[in-house]
Chains A and B, each alone.
Chain A
Amino acid sequence: GAVVSQHPSRVICKSGTSVKIECRSLDFQATTMFWYRQFPKQSLMLMATSNEGSKATYEQGVEKDKFLINHASLTLSTLTVTSAHPEDSSFYICSASPGTVNSGANVLTFGAGSRLTVL
Chain B
Amino acid sequence: AQSVTQPDIHITVSEGASLELRCNYSYGATPYLFWYVQSPGQGLQLLLKYFSGDTLVQGIKGFEAEFKRSQSSFNLRKPSVHWSDAAEYFCAVGARTGRRALTFGSGTRLQVQP
Contacts and interface: CB of A to CB of B under 8 A. Distances in A.
User: Are A and B part of the same complex?
Assistant: yes
A11 interface: no
A88 to B, nearest CB: 18
Contacts, number: 62
A77 to B, nearest CB: 14
Contacts of A99: 100
A106 interface: yes
Interface in A103-119: 104-113, 115
Q: Could you say which interface size class chain A belongs to?
A: 20 to 34
A41 to B, nearest CB: 8
Q: Could you say which interface size class chain B belongs to?
A: 20 to 34
Contacts of A102: 97-98
B5 to A, nearest CB: 11
Contact of A46 (B46, B103, B109): B103
A74 to B, nearest CB: 16
Interface stretch (B11-19, B36-44, B66-74, B78-86): B36-44
11 contacts: A41-B109, A42-B106, A44-B44, A93-B43, A95-B44, A95-B102, A102-B97, A104-B97, A104-B98, A107-B49, A110-B44
Nearest to A10: B41
A101 B98 contact: yes
A113 B42 contact: yes
Specify which of A34, A97, A102, A107 lies most central, judged by the most chain B CB atoms within 10 Å of its CB.
Answer: A107
B34 interface: yes
A44 B43 CA distance: 11
A85 to B, nearest CB: 22
A104 B2 CA distance: 15
Nearest to B6: A43
Interface string B34-59: 10100001111110010100000000
A42 B100 contact: no
